[in-house]
Chain A
Amino acid sequence: MSVLTVRDLSVVFRTETGPLSVVDKVDLSLDAGEIVGVVGESGCGKSVTAMSLTGLLPSSANVTGSAVLDGTELIGAPESVLRRVRGREVAYIFQEPMSSLNPVLTVGRQIGEVLRVHEGLKRRDARARAVELLALVGIPSPAHRVDNYPHQLSGGMRQRVMIAMAVACGPKVLVADEPTTALDVTVQAGILDVLRDLRERLGTSVLVITHDLGVIADIADRVLVMYAGRIVERAGVHDLFAAPRHHYTAGLLAASPVPGEHAGTHRLREIPGLVPVLVTQPDACTFAERCAAAEDDCRVQEPRLDPPGGSGHGAACWHPVRQRRGAAS
């Protein structure tokens, strides 16, 4: 059963130099208790997609399309509705756990704040719950840590605090935007374990956004590959790693880890060329400039995900890769 269904989501920023198309016709669905990974190079529009869901983009962003959360349309919903959704039904974890926490408030206060605003808890009760939540995300001596300030905690601990804050109200969807990128490799695995554990225990659906295929291999059930604002491939994690269909995905995977392995240091391999910055979305494959298999039709008509709107393995490519990985070499 789908908790979150996103259709045709597009984001255009008004900038001083004119409009900038950053997200284009994104389709996405998230089932209950599912972990879906969104992977793509830096700047391809992953964070903007995530922020647009609950109206967190600046007013210079024009967001169109649809995002339905348990029957409620979020795109264009009034601020009062979105405020009830944020932190309670859709919660976020960000990349930099240090700068994402307020340096002048204790972690207990920052966790308690969510409970007070959404569940009307009194200060004392909110604090008690904060201690429980810190324990839930695996922070030792939580009753002591609850009164700490962010600078008194390690990077991994801070990210656990962010997670505790995010799951405080038992959200349906947890958006983890590069949750491990700023952390040491040894700490990364622990954070992913916490996310997996929360999915098991609380049934939370998780959208993991990353440019790190290692993270995807480690934690995702399904994967969406994003390139220049578009979803170019959608697949179960094993299918994606075994038989990528889009040439961009194949390029990414050229030196990739094996699904089910713990996150290592596998970062995206360089593909020659640059991610285009698009003023408008062209009726063509945006990867054509960098694609070795590009043909004339790739430049005159936009390939769409096939099958559209479904959840099976699909790629937005006119001439998909046919080989399974490893079969050729």
Chain B
Amino acid sequence: MRGYLFTRAWQSLLTLFLATAVVFLGIRALPGDPALALAGEDRSPEALAAIRAEYGLDQSVFVQFGRFAWNAVRGDLGTSTRTGVEVTAMLGTALPVTIELALLAILLATVLGVGAGTVAAVRRGRPAEWLANGLALIGLSVPHFWLGLVAILYLSVSTGLFPASGFVPFLDDPVANLHHIVLPVVILGTGLSAVIMRQTRSSMLDALGTDYVRTAKAKGLRPRAVIGRHALRNSLIVVVTIVGLQLGALISGAVVTEQIFGLPGFGKMTIDAVFQRDYPVIQAVVLVTATAYIGINFLVDLLYSLIDPRIRVGGAAA
């Protein structure tokens, strides 16, 4: 188990390094001179040269990357070329918003999705399955942004039950924080739950048809034990993958939801940086996204090995 963890950690770091390098070089390869973008009005050769020197743009790409990587390792991601604010400070305010939104949404989606998926598989061909399938279809086909707008219209604007936009940090005021985040979480979570529900349903159906589930029934176990202990646990392996993928996508991709509900999160920060060609921020955003994906992948692998002992032993032997 320890050997397995070590291998995975090492692989993760390598992947992170490669991902960062590719993006760093990719940005440098884009047409257009960043110095020009930074210079604003004064485009005299002297001014451009000064800017190049200040940002290290006169060095080779590899030196630039080395410096960026070394600074990043020390926790310095530079400053925004637009606002002059330290990028780490920007992340410090934006990330908690998105992480809270993503974690709560994925939690809701998992509970709803695994529950409804299990019911749909067990009650196959009965009303409960049709209901679950119908809801999943709606969840998959109705766009989040539209649902979000409808929710704002009816639950915020006309009734005032929930704030229509804005965010309050949890530590400042937990109640207000939850009050602000409830609507976005529900909108995002129910949408995601449809995917999880369908995956759970199909892997549950597979599991229910296996020989070991037949054995479990033949032992005289109650349906609850047959389903929960024997079938569900095996089908979770696939579900964990889906949840992991979605969580990764949420960290970078809650953009639309954040925009609609006016949440000052990571998605909004990304959009702004891209529109304003704020290179240090874009680089940081990519670095954080890659780290999130890799970290989540690592967690997913850990969960696999907790659920499935065959993976555990295979890794230890390697």
A54 to B220, CA, bound (A): 10
A149 to B210, CA, bound (A): 17
- Among B218, B220, B222, B308, contact of A103 (Cβ-Cβ < 8 Å): B308
Q: A104–B217 contact, CB under 8 A? A: no
Q: B230–A102 contact, CB under 8 A? A: yes
Q: B309–A113 contact, CB under 8 A? A: no
CB-contacts of A78-117 with B (<8 A) = 83-88, 91-92, 94, 96, 99-105, 113-114, 117
A310 to B23, CA, bound (A): 83
> Residue B49 at the A interface, CB < 8 A?
no
- Among A92, A104, A149, contact of B233 (Cβ-Cβ < 8 Å): A104
Beta-carbon nearest neighbor of B306 in chain A: A104
CB distance from B54 to the nearest CB of A (A): 58
A247 to B138, CA, bound (A): 62
Q: A101–B217 contact, CB under 8 A? A: no
A94 to B212, CA, bound (A): 10
- Among B215, B225, B310, contact of A117 (Cβ-Cβ < 8 Å): B225
CB distance from B284 to the nearest CB of A (A): 40
Indicate whether A101 sits within 8 Å of B214 (C-beta atoms), given known contacts A88-B220, A114-B220.
Answer: no
> Residue B313 at the A interface, CB < 8 A?
yes
Q: A100–B221 contact, CB under 8 A? A: no
A161 to B222, CA, bound (A): 21
Q: B308–A86 contact, CB under 8 A? A: no
A87 to B230, CA, bound (A): 16
A101 to B230, CA, bound (A): 10
Q: Residue-by-residue, is A55-95 near B (CB-CB < 8 Å gives 1, otherwise 0)?
A: 01000000000000000000000000001111110011010
> Residue B219 at the A interface, CB < 8 A?
yes
- Among B215, B233, B307, B309, contact of A94 (Cβ-Cβ < 8 Å): B215
Q: A94–B214 contact, CB under 8 A? A: yes
- Among A85, A86, A87, A104, contact of B309 (Cβ-Cβ < 8 Å): A104
CB-contacts of B201-255 with A (<8 A) = 210-212, 214-222, 225, 229-230, 233-234
Contacts of A100 in B (CB 8 A): 211-212, 214-215
Q: A92–B220 contact, CB under 8 A? A: no
Q: A105–B229 contact, CB under 8 A? A: yes
Q: Give the size of the chain A interface in residues (CB under 8 angstroms).
A: 28
CB distance from A130 to the nearest CB of B (A): 13
A90 to B118, CA, bound (A): 29
Q: Residue-by-residue, is A220-236 near B (CB-CB < 8 Å gives 1, otherwise 0)?
A: 00000000000000000
Q: B211–A165 contact, CB under 8 A? A: no
CB-contacts of A136-166 with B (<8 A) = 149, 151-152, 162, 165
Q: B220–A56 contact, CB under 8 A? A: no
A96 to B222, CA, bound (A): 23
Contacts of A85 in B (CB 8 A): 220
A97 to B116, CA, bound (A): 32
Contacts of A94 in B (CB 8 A): 211, 214-215, 218
Q: A92–B222 contact, CB under 8 A? A: no
A309 to B212, CA, bound (A): 35
Indicate whether A56 sits within 8 Å of B230 (C-beta atoms), given known contacts A99-B211, A99-B212, A104-B308.
Answer: no
Contacts of B210 in A (CB 8 A): 99
Q: B313–A113 contact, CB under 8 A? A: no
A34 to B215, CA, bound (A): 24
List 4 additional A-B contacts (Cβ < 8 Å) besides A103-B308, A103-B309.
A87-B220, A104-B307, A113-B216, A117-B225
Which 6 A-B residue pairings sit nearest by Cβ, starting from the closest?
A: A87-B220, A86-B220, A87-B219, A99-B211, A102-B212, A92-B218
